[in-house]
């Protein structure tokens, strides 16, 4: 895999559409850089992997919180 991915590449890997991938970049959730005269967005592979890892961590936290709420008197 190349070092940098396009928004289309990211969208394909995450199984979302390109506008959703762009929204992740705009919100700052997914770190990206602009390159070239037309400001094309590129996402480094390790940034995508970090984003995915962060989502797993967040999902685990949410599951634990839900479990704790169920077991509270």
Q: In what order do the strands lie in the sheet with 4-5?
A: 4-5, 40-44, 33-35
Phi then psi for 68, rounded to 5 degrees?
Answer: -65, -35
pLDDT value, residue 42: 97
Please tell me the total number of residues recorded for the chain in this structure. Answer: 73
Q: What CA–CA distance (Å, rounded) separates 39 from 44?
A: 15
Q: pLDDT tens, 9-54? A: 999 999 999 999 999 999 999 999 999 888 899 999 999 999 999 9
Q: What is the pTM of this model?
A: 0.84
């Amino acid at each position: 895999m190349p070092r940098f991915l396009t928004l289309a590449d990211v969208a394909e890997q995450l199984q979302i559409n390109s506008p959703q991938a762009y929204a992740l970049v705009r919100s700052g959730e997914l770190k990206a850089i602009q390159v070239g005269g037309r400001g094309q967005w590129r996402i480094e592979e390790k940034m995508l992997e970090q984003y995915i890892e962060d989502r797993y961590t967040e999902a685990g936290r949410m599951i634990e919180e839900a479990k704790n709420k169920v077991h509270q008197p």
